[in-house]
Amino acid sequence: ETFSRILHRLNREGLITVKGRTVHIDNVDRLRLLAVNTDSLIE
């Protein structure tokens, strides 16, 4: 469930697109910046 929430948030923020089992990274640079502080993904 946590993974699903993270995917939903990343999608909502325009970082990824999820279609079925396919995840497309729309904004690699912003995703990298977010990855520096992974605690911010889980709220």
Residue 10 CA to residue 24 CA, distance in Å, equals 11
- pLDDT 10s digits, 1-43: 799 999 999 999 999 999 999 999 999 999 988 887 666 555 5
**Alpha-carbon Rg for the chain in angstroms:** 10
Unique residue bearing structure tokens 């396919």: 22
pTM: 0.71
Q: Which helix (H) or strand (E) holds 30?
A: helix 28-36
Residue 28 CA to residue 25 CA, distance in Å, equals 6
Q: Which helix (H) or strand (E) holds 3?
A: helix 2-12
**Sequence-separated (6 or more) residues with CB below 8 Å from residue 10:** 16, 31, 34, 41
pLDDT at residue 9 in the model: 93
